[in-house]
Amino acid sequence: MTTYVDSSALLKRYFPEPDSSVADRLLLSDAVLVTSWVTLIEVQRNLARVLKGAELRDAKQQLAADLDAMALVAVDEAVCRAAAQIGEQLAVRSLDAIHLASAQRLVIPGLRFVTFDLRQAQAGRSLGFTVLGS
């Protein structure tokens, strides 16, 4: 099985939020996790917004370790072109479109897509992903 992890799901690992335990359980349920390189940007920015000092340092170290354990999809021309189409057709935000295009690029039937963003979850379902989390 392969699970694509959106930034909203990964972020829940570094400080308590609603559904943090659900996110942890979903991420631990699959040995093959994939995300986009854009996840680094989104999660690190949000960590710096919420955490400070040693908590921020520790969370960034854990983020680095988590990303090292995942397969990362490059945001290349093909992903950007697909994201532009997804954004136009499904009216999702730009970064959400990049995540959806990155997951789509994997071409894995029944791909599990973990997100806690309702709008992105709806778009993921319309693309045929098995959406978990939202």
Q: Which CATH number belongs to the domain containing residue 128 in this structure? A: 3.40.50.1010
Contact in structure between 93 and 7 (CB atoms under 8 Å): no
pTM of the model: 0.94
* Type of residue at 121: A
Q: Residue 92 and residue 94: Cα distance in Å, rounded? A: 7
Angle between helices 118-126 and 94-105 in degrees, nearest 10: 40
d(CA 35, CA 44) in angstroms, rounded, equals: 14
The predicted structure's pLDDT at residue 101: 98
Q: What is residue 91's predicted lDDT score, i.e. its pLDDT?
A: 95
Which structural domain range is residue 7 located in? Answer: 3-132
The number of domains in the chain is 1
Residue 109 pLDDT:
87
38-50 and 53-68 helices cross at what angle (nearest 10)?
A: 160
Q: What is the mean pLDDT of each run of 10 residues along the chain (134 residues)?
A: 95 92 93 96 97 97 97 98 98 97 94 95 95 91
Which among 2, 58, 55 is positioned nearest to 33, based on CA atoms?
A: 2
